[in-house]
Structure 1
Amino acid sequence: MPATSSASTDRRTDPAFQAFFLLRTVFTVAPIAFGLDKFTNILTEWTIYLAPWINDIVPGNADQAMKAVGVIEIAAGLLVAFAPRIGAYVVALWLAGIIVNLLTLQDFHDVALRDFGLLVGALALGRLAAVYADRSPVSTS
């Protein structure tokens, strides 16, 4: 049964709000976690995912480039946390760039496909944020 738009409706029980909350949480935590890992390489050696042509056009070496990527990812996660209407689309664009990078490498088409799914999720977050991104946990419509 769809949630009503009365002021007494608690959005926490609204399935669409729950989807917004889940996506906002994931697209906040994941970019921050992966961004921080660019400095430690605990999860993986991130430089293997950097296409040589990109490494050739960015200043410094691959490790420095991935640290810059980490800073951008942390900022994108924070943007989703504090301004999801904007942050969701920034993350979607960032994922599009990652996909282009991965498609130019030989061995990471599966990761590119996964990132395409994440891109679609970020776009869904952006659409849901248009409705649910205000600060009130209770509907005021």
Structure 2
Amino acid sequence: MKTTENMSAGRLQTMAPDRQAFFLLRTVFTVAPILFGLDKFTNILTDWTIYLAPVATAVVPVTAQTFMYIVGAVEIIAGILVAVRPRFGSLLVAVWLLGIIINLLVLGNFYDVALRDFGLLVGALALNRLSPAGSWRRQG
């Protein structure tokens, strides 16, 4: 007798590789932005303001922490959008990551983080390519 857990694991393993990749990428690009967005309000992982180029607060005249609150809200929304509308949400995440990369390059530090975020940007674009207009949810 198969348990529900075994049936779910078996179903995932029998999916086409592109569909497995879609689910993996959608999961990561849902969870990560939401967690990082929430951390902008708590600063448990790091002090996020050190990653903000001073020009950002010159353009948007708020404190660096207030800017991070806005960033956190956008990241949470982006993660939710990836979950419910992966084709659109993945593009939002890709554009957001491009903005982060530009900010880091303007800051003149953290080139390693900028390179990592470029890899994430490519992953978000791959999710977009794997997200057909008719969403995977309709395909049984």
Shorter-chain TM-score tier: 0.7 to 0.9
What 5-or-longer segments of structure 1 have no aligned partner? 1-8
What 5-or-longer segments of structure 2 have no aligned partner? 1-10
Residue matched to 1:33: 35
Partners of 2:119 and 2:25 lie apart in 1 by 12
Residue matched to 1:121: 123
Higher relative contact order (CA 8 A, sep 6+): 1
2:58 is the alignment partner of 1:67? no
Partners of 2:40 and 2:78 lie apart in 1 by 14
- Identify which of 12, 15, 19 aligns with 1:13: 15
Residue matched to 2:81: 79
Give the letter aligned to residue 17 of structure 2.
P
| Cα gap change, 1:43 to 1:77, in 2 (>3 Å) | same
Residue matched to 2:26: 24
Residue matched to 1:98: 100
Local SS of the residue matching 1:38: helix
TM-score normalised by the chain length of structure 1: 0.86
TM-score normalised by the chain length of structure 2: 0.87
1:134 Cα deviation from its structure 2 partner: 3.5
1:58 Cα deviation from its structure 2 partner: 1.1
| Cα gap change, 1:42 to 1:110, in 2 (>3 Å) | same
Alignment RMSD (CA, Å): 1.9
Partners of 2:68 and 2:138 lie apart in 1 by 37
1:129 Cα deviation from its structure 2 partner: 0.5
| Cα gap change, 1:63 to 1:72, in 2 (>3 Å) | same
Whether the 8 Å contact between 1:39 and 1:70 is mirrored in structure 2 is yes
Q: List structure 1 segments (4+ residues) > 4 angstroms apart after TM superposition.
A: 9-12
1:107 Cα deviation from its structure 2 partner: 1.9
Aligned residue pairs total: 130
| Cα gap change, 1:132 to 1:29, in 2 (>3 Å) | farther
Local SS of the residue matching 1:135: helix
| Cα gap change, 1:113 to 1:10, in 2 (>3 Å) | closer
